[in-house]
């Protein structure tokens, strides 16, 4: 099992969570609204990333994100894998073995990050909001299906910028993706999220 496939397993495992909405102070409510506004105004992002797991695995590569609903993670060698999110589907492509696996986006916590607009009243519940010097951490679960897992979005605070997302599975294993050299609201090529399943790609026959 590759490290990336292991990561996919993590984000798809159900989380047995009975967490309730955290009671926010007026100051935290204002901060949460600032984060929501930032996310809703974030349309594109490009950069590199580093992915680590509490199991000790590590991978890195390039990321392109376009909201709503599109993302591409291209992993650096020795990984020969990529992850493409498009048309409501997560595509995991093992280029070495020309194998492709498909997962529904709305069955993973990544859906929170990629949806068009985010509402704390209708879409997600805040189960934690923490602030320390220079860092804000917002932990969310889906209101309709909290069992799909939790996602923690980590921001810098001056200015507010997305720096990392962290996913925790039912066994307590954590996978975090840290953004490096990220640029936001930059042009993204129209074919950035194109994908042809190798079994249908006649150019490689």
Dihedral angle, C-alpha 89, 4, 74, 97, nearest 10 °? -90
- Whole-number pLDDT of residue 6: 43
Q: Classify burial at 1, counting beta carbons within 10 Å of its beta carbon; exposed 0-12, middle 13-18, buried 19 or more.
A: exposed
Task: State the architecture of 3-181 in CATH terms.
Answer: Clam (2.50)
List b or e across 156-168, with b for residues whose CB sees 16 or more CB atoms inside 10 angstroms: eeeeeebbbbbbb
Give the pLDDT of residue 11. 43
Q: What is the pLDDT of residue 69?
A: 93
- Record the tokens describing residue 94, joined without a space: 């093992």
Backbone CA torsion sign across 24, 110, 3, 83: negative
pLDDT in tens, 10-28: 444 433 344 566 789 999 9
Residue ranges of domains in the chain: 3-181
Given this model, what pLDDT does residue 144 score?
Answer: 80
Q: What is the pLDDT of residues 22-52, one digit of tens each?
A: 789 999 999 999 999 999 999 999 999 999 9
Profile the chain (205 residues) by mean pLDDT over runs of 10 residues. Answer: 45 43 88 95 96 91 95 94 93 91 84 88 91 94 78 93 85 85 94 88 60
């Amino acid at each position: 099992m590759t490290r990336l496939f292991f990561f996919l397993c993590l984000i798809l495992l159900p989380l047995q969570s009975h967490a309730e909405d955290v009671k926010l102070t007026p100051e935290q409510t204002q901060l949460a609204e600032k984060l929501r506004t930032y996310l809703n105004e974030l349309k594109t992002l490009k950069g590199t990333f580093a992915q680590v797991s509490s199991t000790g695995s590590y991978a890195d590569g390039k990321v392109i994100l376009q909201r709503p609903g599109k993302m591409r993670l291209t992993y650096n060698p020795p990984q020969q894998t990529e992850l493409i999110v498009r048309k409501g589907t997560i595509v995991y492509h093992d280029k070495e073995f020309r194998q492709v696996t498909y997962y529904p986006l709305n069955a993973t916590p990544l859906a929170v990050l990629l949806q068009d607009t985010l509402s704390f009243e209708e879409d997600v519940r805040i189960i934690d909001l923490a602030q320390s010097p220079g860092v804000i951490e917002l932990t969310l679960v889906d209101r309709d299906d909290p069992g799909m897992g939790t996602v923690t979005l980590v921001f810098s605070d001056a200015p507010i910028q997305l720096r990392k997302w962290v996913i925790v599975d039912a066994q307590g294993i954590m996978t975090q993706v840290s953004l490096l050299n990220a640029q936001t609201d930059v042009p993204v090529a129209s074919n950035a999220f194109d994908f042809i399943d190798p079994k249908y790609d006649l150019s490689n026959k």
